[in-house]
Structure 1
Amino acid sequence: MPSTHSDAAIELGRRLRAARVDRELTLEDVGALADMHWTNIGKIERGQVHPSVETLVRIATALDIDPGELLRGFTAAMYPRKSHGLTAADFIAERQRRAH
């Protein structure tokens, strides 16, 4: 069995599957509505791949949900290989600190 892509991919897949099942749609149904092959949707639901923005929007539209809701709460920490925990806010705060 192929491994998962990331914690984010697992959570995204869980959310997509829940939305699909809640609407009583099959993978084939969503594939037809999103104009994608259903096996690709299955890979996304299993967290094996992380979809592009276009793919995410196509699937969300097919499921009649806001794509942003699928990503709510996601952080960079959910992805592998992040070398630091810094954000733009950290850089701005340091710049302001140095200016004073």
Structure 2
Amino acid sequence: MPRSPVSAATVEFGQRVVARRKALRLSQEQLAHASGLHWSTVSQIERGLYNTGLQNILKLAVGLQTDPGDLIRGMLPP
């Protein structure tokens, strides 16, 4: 049985990660390598299945060459 997204916030965060990754023309594996994360973690974050923490947000921001605030700005808590 497929897992459901954790919350609307995790889905929105994942969509922001996907949009930035695609703008940079990176694969999930390339982003994972640049971020120091496992590719499966990146995949779960992008699909809203993983409620990631601050450390991973900071790592993703490095891999996505963006400010961490850009990934969460304007988001409301779940």
Aligned partner of residue 69 in structure 1, secondary structure: helix
CA distance in 1, matches of 2:68, 2:43: 18
Question: CA shift at 1:50, angstroms?
Answer: 1.4
Partner residue of 1:51? 52
Larger Rg: 1
Gap runs ≥5 in structure 1 = 80-100
Q: How many residue pairs are counted as aligned between the two chains?
A: 77
RMSD: 0.7
Output the CA distance in 2 between the equivalents of 1:27 and 1:68: 21
Give the secondary-structure state (helix, strand or coil) at the position aligned to 1:15.
Answer: helix
Identical aligned residues as a percent:
31
The correspondence of residues 84-99 of structure 1 with structure 2, limited to 5 A, is none
Relative to the length of structure 2, the TM-score reads 0.94
Point out where structure 2 has 5 or more consecutive residues left out of the alignment: none
* 2:4 alignment counterpart: 3
TM-score using structure 1 length: 0.74
Which residue of structure 2 lines up, in the alignment, with residue 35 of structure 1?
Answer: 36
| Structure number with higher relative contact order (C-alpha < 8 Å, ≥ 6 residues apart) | 2
CA separation in 1, counterparts of 2:24 and 2:51?
A: 22
- Equivalent residue number for residue 86 of structure 1: none
The amino acid that maps onto 1:45 is: E
Runs of 4+ in 1 over 4 A off after TM superposition: none
Equivalence for 1:75? 76
